[in-house]
Amino acid sequence: MFASEVAIKNSLEAMRIHGGHGYSEEFGVERLYRDAVLMSIGEGTNDILRTIIAKQPIMGKRKIA
């Protein structure tokens, strides 16, 4: 979850730095942003993962399933 959120944040910053070229397929920045967004969905949305992680101390589990 942490890695996907950092990837989204950094790819958005790269798109801001590149301006209009960040949205162009000629540059790799557009692909990085697209991949970062998909990474946050792949293993479950980050909102659901936050809920699962938050429940672990309550349930008394030490390992996240």
pLDDT of residue 63: 65
Domain range for 42: 2-59
Q: What predicted TM-score, i.e. pTM, was given to this entire model? A: 0.66
Q: For residue 12, tell me if it sits in a domain.
A: yes
- The active-site residue, picked from 5, 13, 26, 43, is 43
Q: For residue 65, tell me if it sits in a domain.
A: no
Q: For residue 64, tell me if it sits in a domain.
A: no
pLDDT of residue 52: 81
Distance CA 14, CA 19 (A): 9
- Has 25 been annotated as catalytic? no
pLDDT of residue 17: 92
Backbone dihedral region of 44: left (phi > 0), alpha (psi from -120 to 50 degrees) or beta? left
Per-residue pLDDT of the chain (65 residues; tens, 9 = 90+): 888 889 989 999 999 998 888 878 888 888 988 888 888 787 678 778 888 888 877 777 666 55
Alpha helices in 1-65 (DSSP H): 2-18, 28-42, 46-59
The CATH number of whichever domain residue 37 belongs to comes to: 1.20.140.10
| Cβ-based neighbours of 60, under 8 Å, separated by 6 or more | none
